[in-house]
C-alpha cells in the first residue's frame, strides 16, 4: 500500500538524525535553565549536544536520511545555542561587546551564506568549490579542519564560562591568567583560541563573498532585457 503524503511527512520528521536534533534542542533548553545554578552540568550538557551535531550528519549519510528539514534544524540549533552562550558570556565578562560582536558576525555570516546559496541554486551552503579564497575552500572542503575550528570555538566558550566568577571580570585578564597556569588548562585554551581565530576569519571572508554573490545576482538580473 502506497504511503500517503501525511505518512511521508511523518517519516521525515522521524528520521534518526532529526530525532537526534530534537534531543539536542531539549538538552540545550535544560542546559541553559541550569546555567546559573549548576555550571558543570551546563557545560556537560552543552558539550554533549555539540558532539551530537556531528552524529546526526553521520547517521543521515549512513541511513540515507538526508533531508532539507534536518539540515535547517541542525543549523538553527547550532546558531541559537551558540548565540545564547555568547549572550550569557557578554553578561559575565567585560567588555561584553566582544561576545555580542562574535554573535552578530556568526549570524550575519551564516545568514548571508545561506541566502547566497539559495540564489545560486546550490544544494548546500558548504559548497564553496568555486570560491577564489583558499581559506574558505580549506574550511568547507576538509571535514577535519572545519571540525577542529567548530570544536575550538565551543570549547573556548565553555572554558570561559567555567572560568567566570563575577560580572566585572575582564575576559583578557582571565584568559591570560588561565594561559599562565600550566598545561592542564593552557594547552586546550591555546588550541581553542587558535581554532576560534581561524573560524572568525572564515566568517568574515564568508560574509564578504556571500555579499558579493548577492550583488552579482542583482547585476545579472538587471542586465537581462
Q: Torsion angle, CA of 219/223/224/225, rounded to 10 degrees? A: 150
Long-range contacts of 63-71, Cβ-Cβ distance < 8 Å, separation of 24 or more: 63/15, 63/16, 65/15, 65/16, 65/17, 65/18, 67/12, 67/15, 67/17, 67/18, 69/12, 69/13, 69/18, 70/12, 70/15, 70/17, 70/18, 70/21, 71/124
Instruction: Report the distance separating Cα 7 and Cα 214, nearest Å.
Output: 38
Q: Are 149 and 195 a contacting pair, CB within 8 Å?
A: yes
Catalytic residues: 78
Q: Are 18 and 70 a contacting pair, CB within 8 Å?
A: yes
Amino acid at each position: 500500500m502506497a504511503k500517503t503524503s501525511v505518512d511521508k511527512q511523518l517519516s521525515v520528521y522521524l528520521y534518526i538524525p532529526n530525532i537526534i536534533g530534537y534531543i539536542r534542542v531539549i538538552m540545550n533548553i535544560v542546559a541553559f535553565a541550569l546555567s546559573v545554578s549548576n555550571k558543570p552540568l551546563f557545560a556537560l550538557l552543552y558539550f554533549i549536544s555539540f558532539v551530537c551535531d556531528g552524529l546526526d550528519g553521520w547517521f543521515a549519510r549512513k541511513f540515507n536520511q538526508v533531508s532539507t528539514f534536518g539540515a535547517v534544524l541542525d543549523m538553527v540549533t547550532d546558531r541559537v545555542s551558540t548565540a545564547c552562550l555568547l549572550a550569557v558570556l557578554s553578561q559575565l565578562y567585560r567588555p561584553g561587546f566582544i561576545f555580542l560582536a562574535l554573535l552578530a558576525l556568526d549570524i550575519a555570516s551564516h545568514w548571508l551564506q545561506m541566502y547566497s546559496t539559495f540564489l545560486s541554486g546550490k544544494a548546500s551552503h558548504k559548497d564553496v568549490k568555486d570560491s577564489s579564497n583558499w581559506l574558505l575552500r580549506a574550511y568547507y572542503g576538509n571535514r577535519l579542519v572545519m571540525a577542529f575550528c567548530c570544536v575550538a570555538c565551543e570549547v573556548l566558550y565553555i572554558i570561559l564560562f567555567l572560568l567566570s566568577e563575577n560580572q566585572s571580570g575582564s575576559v583578557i585578564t582571565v584568559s591570560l591568567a588561565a594561559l599562565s597556569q600550566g598545561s592542564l588548562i593552557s594547552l586546550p585554551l591555546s588550541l581553542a583560541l587558535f581554532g576560534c581565530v581561524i573560524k572568525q576569519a572564515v566568517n568574515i571572508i564568508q560574509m564578504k563573498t556571500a555579499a558579493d554573490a548577492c550583488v552579482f545576482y542583482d547585476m545579472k538580473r538587471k542586465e537581462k532585457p
